[in-house]
């Protein structure tokens, strides 16, 4: 059967609706062209739209100029489930204050409303495949009374076979051809050399045990960490998103995962990075739904789970902000809390926050206290280490005073005096706890 065009598919899905709530699949399976078509048809029919997205790229490529005006005027409401938002749009975009694992549960329970679920899939000889991100797609395909819309692409923008969906789509599903734009993904580029990131990765590589199961995010620090860990045979991966640098290291025989207590020998995630494209990955890679990668009961099965995440800022108690910058909510916490809490509780595991001591503009990331208007992404009780280019602060089991001294010691040298100046005397009388090696490393 010939797929419908984007415009006709959007019109069919919106027929008879006075208002509509649309949930988009996680990027890079976010169907940007289909979303643009749905917003255009809804505008022409004066249908108010609430759109829920998990835009890992943070580019909002589905939003054309007219839709941008609708957002400003309140005719379109956008809610961020995960990922980030362009800074210029941050004041106009709402978000759900929940971790990614919790988002999946809220979608499964129907606590987050949905009339239309829109997803980009890859057309292969085996049928339609989810592509480079599973996320909550399987949750939404199983949800009753939701119209499923599939933007079916054949442009080679996804790795085929990572998570095949060859079962029949729900009754009433609408399949349309993909637009001319490729999926919302960035071209793969090797990160430029960055001494700060490389120094952070150096500290991390000496902290992480040789038999760890590792969760990492995406970004420069994660890419540098993969390079710094090159040659480690036994480390395994269980993560939300895997950095693209991992592909070459797995192909080279690193990170066999033979020490994992769950999924031994496999690297598991729910999504590839936004620059993964269609280049093949080793056969040991598995993409799984959020219910298998982020749910507390699934993560609790892992021993030696180490979670390495980033943040915008960390205060002197160890509270983590990974969502607010310059007074604007520009990102969601994603799976950080899911993995940090699980790793903190994992036997011989730990949760780590890795970040440069200062922003590119010279503002300190280790702060006396988080901005009052912001929110805590991960509480201090779930953080074991904070790593900057200046060293590693061990927080697990430390008092408030010991944490203050340890965190000030890994801040930028020019920031340390001001950080300590406002602290109570009782918080300054304990020597700092700073380590650059972990006792479980061995040789």
**Model's pTM, two decimal places?**
0.91
Please, which residues have CB within 8 angstroms of residue 367's CB and are 6 or more apart in sequence?
Answer: 313, 314, 315, 316, 419
Q: What is the CA radius of gyration of the chain?
A: 22
SS3 annotation, 336-377: HHHHHHHHHHCCCCEEEEECCCECCCCCECEECCCCCCCCCC
Domain boundaries, the chain: 6-177, 195-435
Pair 410, 386: CB distance under 8 Å: yes
Please, which residues have CB within 8 angstroms of residue 133's CB and are 6 or more apart in sequence?
Answer: 25, 26, 27, 28, 29, 56, 270, 271, 272, 287
Q: Which helix (H) or strand (E) holds 308?
A: strand 305-309
Please tell me the class of the 6-177 domain: alpha beta
Alpha carbon 312 to its chain's center = 14
pLDDT in tens, the chain (443 residues): 456 799 999 999 999 999 999 999 999 999 999 999 999 999 999 999 999 999 999 999 999 999 999 999 999 999 999 999 999 999 999 999 999 999 999 999 999 999 999 999 998 888 889 989 999 999 999 999 999 999 998 878 888 888 887 667 888 899 998 876 555 555 555 557 799 999 999 999 999 999 999 999 888 999 999 999 998 989 999 999 998 889 999 999 999 999 999 999 999 999 998 888 888 999 999 999 999 999 999 999 999 999 999 999 999 999 999 999 989 999 999 999 999 999 999 999 999 999 999 999 999 999 999 987 778 999 999 999 999 999 999 999 999 999 999 999 999 999 999 999 977 655 555 454 444 444 333 32
Q: Is it true that 6-177 and 195-435 share their CATH fold?
A: yes
Domain at 195-435: CATH code: 3.40.1080.20
């Amino acid at each position: 059967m010939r797929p419908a065009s984007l415009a006709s598919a959007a019109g069919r899905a919106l027929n008879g609706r006075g208002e509509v709530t649309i949930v988009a699949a996680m990027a890079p399976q976010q169907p940007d062209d289909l979303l643009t078509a749905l917003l255009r048809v809804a505008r022409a029919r004066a249908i108010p739209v609430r759109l829920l997205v998990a835009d890992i790229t943070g580019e909002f490529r589905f939003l054309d100029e007219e839709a941008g005006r609708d957002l400003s005027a309140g005719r379109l409401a956008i809610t961020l489930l995960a990922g980030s938002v362009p800074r210029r749009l941050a004041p106009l975009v709402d978000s759900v204050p929940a971790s990614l694992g919790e988002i999946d549960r809220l979608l499964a329970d129907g606590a987050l409303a949905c009339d239309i679920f829109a997803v980009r899939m890859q057309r292969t000889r085996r049928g339609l495949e989810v592509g480079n991100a599973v996320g909550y797609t399987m949750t939404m395909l199983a949800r009753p009374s939701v119209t499923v819309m599939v933007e079916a692409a054949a442009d080679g923008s996804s790795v085929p076979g990572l998570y095949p969906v060859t079962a029949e789509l729900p009754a009433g599903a609408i399949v349309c051809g993909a637009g001319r734009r490729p999926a919302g993904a960035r071209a793969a580029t090797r990160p430029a050399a960055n001494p700060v990131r490389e120094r952070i990765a150096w500290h991390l590589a000496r902290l992480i045990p040789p038999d760890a199961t590792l969760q990492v995010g995406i970004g420069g620090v994660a890419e540098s960490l993969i390079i710094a860990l090159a040659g480690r045979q036994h480390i395994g991966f269980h993560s939300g998103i895997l950095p693209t640098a991992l592909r070459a290291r797995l192909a080279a025989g690193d990170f066999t995962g033979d020490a994992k207590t769950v999924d031994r020998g496999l690297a598991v995630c729910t999504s590839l990075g936004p620059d993964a494209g269609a280049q093949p990955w080793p056969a040991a890679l598995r993409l799984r739904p959020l219910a298998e990668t982020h749910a507390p009961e699934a993560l609790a099965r892992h021993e030696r789970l180490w979670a390495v995440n980033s943040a915008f800022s960390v205060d002197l108690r160890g509270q983590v902000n990974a969502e607010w910058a310059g007074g604007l909510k520009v990102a969601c916490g994603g799976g950080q809390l899911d993995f940090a809490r699980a790793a903190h509780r994992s036997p011989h595991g730990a949760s780590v926050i890795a970040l440069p001591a200062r922003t590119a503009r010279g503002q300190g990331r280790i702060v006396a206290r988080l901005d009052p208007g912001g929110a805590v992404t991960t509480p201090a009780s779930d953080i074991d280490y904070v790593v900057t280019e200046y060293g590693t602060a061990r927080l697990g089991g430390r008092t408030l005073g010991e944490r203050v001294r340890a965190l000030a010691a890994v801040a930028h040298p020019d920031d340390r005096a001001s950080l300590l100046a406002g602290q109570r005397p009782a918080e300054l009388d304990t020597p700092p706890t700073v380590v650059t090696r972990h006792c479980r490393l061995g040789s």
